[in-house]
Chains A and B, each alone.
Chain A
Amino acid sequence: MASVTGTSISMASFKASLAPSSRISNVKSVSFPISGKSFTTLRMQPARFRISCAAKPETVTKVCEIVKKQLALPDDSAVTGESKFAALGADSLDTVEIVMGLEEEFGISVEEDSAQSIATVQDAADLIENLIEKKGA
């Protein structure tokens, strides 16, 4: 009979210990989605950094300068990294002249195929960065 009472007491204490543990497990279940969200943003950030670090802003500004001079655009016209040469009014001859001007300005030599694939100011700046890196290495 004494043993029966003993077990009942232990059961009560067990229940009491269960309650806080369940609370803890609830807290754990709440925090899990938070850690899940932060994990996905961490995965996305390196990809974004890679795209924005592709070309230095000074290079892009120099390229914009040369493009503006070549196409005789007024100084306040908006030439950004995303502007396409065709949209600015440049035909294929203008594009070749611009690439020549960039070669002279940066002291690099652009391949024939790479020159054909340049469509925006950003492409040109990235190509210039790559060639300068290869030359320096």
Chain B
Amino acid sequence: MAKVVPTRSEVLFLFRSLLRTARQFSDYNIREYSKRRTIDGFRQNRTLSDPDSIASAFSHGKAQLEIAKRQAVVYSLYAPKVKSIMDLKPCNTV
């Protein structure tokens, strides 16, 4: 099956959507992991030149985006009341 090779702007749009979706997570750990994973994943695949591998990486990214969007909704339904300590503003104590 012939895969669709994404254009440069489509790839950048996917990158932005993944980062935006990652921001919506209320849990600190998952939020940071999603951001880190998208940045690492895109950087690793930066130098791909084979159109087949580019297309499969792009479709993998789109599938991950769908999963992330769904999970953001699910996590927000069951968000714990106590926030992670990393989210709290630092207060300097002696």
Interface of B is mostly: helix
Q: Are B39 and A97 closer than 8 Å at their CB atoms?
A: yes
- Given known A93-B42, A93-B46, A97-B39, contact A116–B19 (CB-CB < 8 A): no
Interface of A is mostly: helix
The number of chain B residues with a CB under 8 A from chain A is 13
The number of chain A residues with a CB under 8 A from chain B is 11
Chain B positions within 8 Å of A, measured between CB atoms, are: 8-9, 12-13, 15-16, 19-20, 23, 39, 42-43, 46
- Given known A92-B8, A116-B9, contact A104–B15 (CB-CB < 8 A): no
A9 CB–B CB distance under 8 Å: no
From A91, A92, A100, A112, B19 is in contact (CB under 8 Å) with A100
Q: How far is the CB of A90 from chain B (nearest CB, A)?
A: 13
